[in-house]
Amino acid sequence: MATNPITGISNTTTQSSNSVPLNMQINQAQFLQLITAQLQDQNPLSPTDPTQFVSQLEGMSQVSSMMSMQSSLQASQLLSGTNFLGHSVLAPGTTATLASGGVIGGAVQAPAGTSKLSVSITDSSGNPVTTLSVTPADSGLTSFTWNGQTSAGTTAPAGQYTIAVNATVNGATQAVSPNVVTKVESVLIDPTTQAVDLDTDSGVVPLSSVISVF
């Protein structure tokens, strides 16, 4: 999914169910040109009803108001997104970046009846690195932290790793979607939905999916 950084927002507007229709996106100058053309082309024996122009002016006012509201909303979302710059967030994800000498943190919502959580770490080539056994919390999210040590007791190199979580529920094993901690580097605008995304060291995260901020 392509996104545009906050410093280079695209001017292209994509129509959606909540946006102004593309055929109504004209500015005031273009609207005046349209009215002038209508006056020039009207039949002198049957002039255009002036009430039509009043209706068009009202429509233009409504369109301008809608576009202004959209711009204000997007500006508000961008301002909210910039508050995350430099911070780490907890959000759904299966990959995380291990810095040199750092750790990878995350959390998972354990299903009811879970007796054990198993967090598997694999490298970018899909090779197993280590597995963590985690006791589920009584309620809410269960946190986990990988200190960068492999199952062989060595230190894993810096880079991106994949996280997978399995829960033992009533004696059966089932996969659980993990959440990972990742650092926000910039704010993006999705050109398709106009939604605000966060560009993190583990990939793009929708602002709406952030669980907590650190």
- pLDDT, one tens digit per residue, over 49-80 is 656 655 655 555 555 555 555 555 555 555 56
Ramachandran region, residue 73 (left: φ > 0; alpha: ψ -120 to 50; beta: rest)? alpha
H, E, C per residue of 65-90: HHHHHHHHHHHHHHHHHHCCCCCEEE
Mean pLDDT of 81-98: 88
Contacts for 115 with CB less than 8 Å, ≥ 6 apart: 136, 168, 169
pLDDT band (50, 70, 90) for residue 165? very high
Query: Which residue, 59, 60, 36, 61, is CA-closest to 48?
Result: 36
Domains and CATH numbers, the chain: 4-87+184-213 (no CATH), 96-174 (2.60.40.4070)
In this prediction, residues 160-169 reach a mean pLDDT of 97
- Is the full-model pTM beyond 0.85? no
